[in-house]
């Protein structure tokens, strides 16, 4: 049960999915597109590395969002509302710990990618790409803060009430 004036787990995660997850799904492909556009102009070794690193981060973020939306968030909502728990094929506590590491890791990896892009010769595309990555990082900071300080502790509390399997 939630106390009066306390935002429910469902309200919190619904807002995160609507604002931050949809933001990432919209903006990450745009970063990839900009990176592709630059590759056609410049064929440098450091840039190939930046492209590879970004592709890795994007995959990690997309898998992370999927696990939150498929398992973590629905389980928290079900525990909060007392409804039937969704089928879950992963160890949620283990995944939650891993997700906290990914929250830091993805932001740091994006900083590394930007550092690599900085080394490219000046161009409009470079400016656009750096600005886009900065936009993603700024939103990610807000998103991660909401999850680390709100969603995760609340999930752990709710998880303690989880009925044991027979």
Positions that interact with Fe ion (CB under 5 A)? 68, 147
Using the minimum distance from each CB to Fe ion, give the nearer residue, 54 or 155: 155
Q: Which residues contact 72 (CB under 8 A, 6 or more apart)?
A: 92, 95, 96, 99, 155
Angle between helices 152-159 and 9-16 (to 10 degrees): 140
Residues in the chain: 166
160 DSSP assignment = T
Paired tokens of 133: 């990555």
Q: How far is the CB of 96 from Fe ion (least distance, A)?
A: 9
Cβ neighbours of residue 104 closer than 8 Å, sequence gap 6 or more? none
* C-beta nearest to Fe ion: residue: 147
- Output the smallest distance, CB 73 to Fe ion, in A: 8
Q: How far is the CB of 67 from Fe ion (least distance, A)?
A: 9
Q: Looking at beta carbons only, is 24 or 50 nearer to Fe ion?
A: 24
Q: Measure Cα distances from 126 to 24, 113, 114, 149 in Å.
A: 20, 12, 10, 34
**114 and 50 in contact (C-beta within 8 Å)?**
no
Closest CB to Fe ion among residues 40, 101: 101
Residue 21 C-beta: closest distance to Fe ion, Å = 6
Which CB atom, from 39 or from 148, has the smaller least distance to Fe ion? 148
3-state secondary structure of 105: helix
Identity of the residue, 44 or 69, whose beta carbon is nearer to Fe ion in the bound complex: 69
Minimum distance from CB of 25 to Fe ion (Å)?
A: 11
């Amino acid at each position: 049960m939630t106390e009066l004036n306390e935002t429910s787990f469902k309200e919190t995660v619904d807002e995160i999915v609507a604002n931050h997850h949809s933001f990432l799904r919209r903006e990450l492909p745009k970063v990839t597109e900009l990176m592709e556009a630059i590759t056609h102009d410049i064929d440098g070794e450091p840039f190939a590395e930046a492209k590879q690193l970004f592709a890795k981060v994007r995959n990690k973020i997309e898998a992370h969002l999927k696990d939150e939306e498929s398992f973590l968030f629905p389980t928290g909502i079900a525990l909060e509302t007392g409804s039937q728990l969704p089928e879950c094929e992963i160890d949620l506590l283990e995944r939650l710990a891993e997700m906290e590491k990914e929250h830091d890791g993805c932001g740091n990896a994006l900083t590394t990618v930007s550092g690599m892009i900085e080394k490219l010769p000046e161009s409009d595309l470079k400016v656009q790409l750096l600005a886009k990555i900065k936009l993603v990082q700024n939103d990610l900071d807000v998103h991660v803060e909401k999850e680390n300080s709100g969603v995760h502790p609340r999930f752990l509390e709710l998880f303690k009430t989880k009925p044991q399997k027979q």
